[in-house]
Amino acid sequence: MARTTAGRFFEDFHVGETLVHAVPRTVTTGDAALYVALTGARNVIHCADSFARDCGLERAPIDDVLAFHVMFGKSVTDISLNAVANLGYAEGRFLAPIYPGDTLSSQSEVIGLKQNSNGRTGTVWVRTRGFRDDECVLEFVRWVMVQKRDAASPPPDAVVPELKSALSVNDLVVTDSLRAPADPDNLAGGHWRFEDYEIGERIDHVDGMTLEETEHRLATRLYQNTARVHFNAHLAREGRFGKCLVYGGHVLSLARALSWNGLETVLRIAGINGGTHANPCFAGDTIYAWSEVLDAQPLPGSPDLGALRLRLVATKDQPCDTFPLKLENGRYRPEVLLDFDYWAILPRKAGDGA
């Protein structure tokens, strides 16, 4: 009798079922310190209790992206151990700040299934919800290409969920107590506020960060994400790339950390509209990033805060002063790793609100 699991295959998923993911996790200041060491993350609300209190929170919450990775990591064993590719994200919402000491768990509901025309793989859509005790604090939809156990097994009825191409600002949840910090000393590191950014503006984040094998593995294990493509070099040598793939979420972490230079005053990530891992990333790659302001909206009920819809693009071995994205044929340029679309919350200028 098989004690171990080799992961679920396409045939094992059924629309409407809910998978409760194992291994809840109490996140700690240890996780937060490691996240800083692994990524260089510097958004000050996550770094200093004093600043977080000045923003109306009880103390520094863990980085929103770290919280996302912890919730995501739990889902891998049930959803994507046999995934061929992470295809996309949608309808991600960060519903509450998460603090060291909170115990996090997650569940995923299967909301869509569609076999691919090759008969060997299918797409699985899941809505993953992350909880602090019984409170849902984060949710997102993702879809992955999963292998079939047996190409001959019959396809399920195709169910393709209708997903929003982007959240509207009304979909975002802002913690009631969150407010623009006074910050007369510019402790956030940048002077720019919500009104300073213009729709259509693009920002080259300038710096590059080279990543090594150990770094992405430490990060991915920290999230208890055990997808074997990241860890087993012995197996990978015979695989498609001949080496281990970097968890796409680590590229997101690095790009977001690099984006501090130009987006220093971002207080929180509020929503994920979409995301594409455009090309694989490997140890030794140097990550660069640029951002584009896609939209800017005041936040109803929070007169001193505004929301920017941002595209965050990560590249490898390619500085971003030319804002590289797609080829003429519409495909992503080979140096583009990530194209991520999200809502960020920033302080407004004093007196502009209310």
- List helix spans (H) across 185-332: 213-222, 233-236, 248-258
* Residue 275 near residue 312 (C-beta atoms within 8 A): no
Sign of the CA dihedral running 352, 299, 41, 313:
negative
Q: By CB under 8 A, is residue 215 in contact with its own copies?
A: yes
Residues numbered 303 to 332 that lie near its own copies (CB under 8 A) are 317
Q: Which of 17, 58, 120, 133 binds its own copies (CB under 8 A)?
A: 133
Listing DSSP states for 27-81 in one string gives --HHHHHHHHHHH----GGGT-HHHHHHTTSSSPPPPHHHHHHHHHHHHHHHHTT
Of 171 and 292, the one with the shorter C-beta distance to its own copies is: 292
Q: By CB under 8 A, is residue 50 in contact with its own copies?
A: yes
Of 103 and 153, the one with the shorter C-beta distance to its own copies is: 103
- φ, ψ dihedrals at 214, nearest 5°: -60, -35
| Closest to 277 (Cα-Cα) out of 248, 300, 318 | 248
List residues bridging with 271 in a β-sheet: 93, 343
Residues numbered 84 to 103 that lie near its own copies (CB under 8 A) are 100, 103
* Residue 58 near residue 52 (C-beta atoms within 8 A): yes
Minimum CB distance to its own copies, residue 79 (Å) = 14
Minimum CB distance to its own copies, residue 82 (Å) = 12
Of 177 and 186, the one with the shorter C-beta distance to its own copies is: 186
Minimum CB distance to its own copies, residue 203 (Å) = 5
Q: By CB under 8 A, is residue 273 in contact with its own copies?
A: no
Q: By CB under 8 A, is residue 205 in contact with its own copies?
A: yes
Q: By CB under 8 A, is residue 32 in contact with its own copies?
A: yes
Q: By CB under 8 A, is residue 44 in contact with its own copies?
A: yes
How many residues touch its own copies under the rule CB under 8 A: the total is 78
Q: Which of 86, 105, 273, 302 binds its own copies (CB under 8 A)?
A: 105
Residues numbered 139 to 178 that lie near its own copies (CB under 8 A) are none
Q: Which of 84, 85, 87, 209 binds its own copies (CB under 8 A)?
A: 209
Strands 83-94 and 135-147, by their bridges, are: antiparallel
- Enter the tokens of residue 180: 């623009």
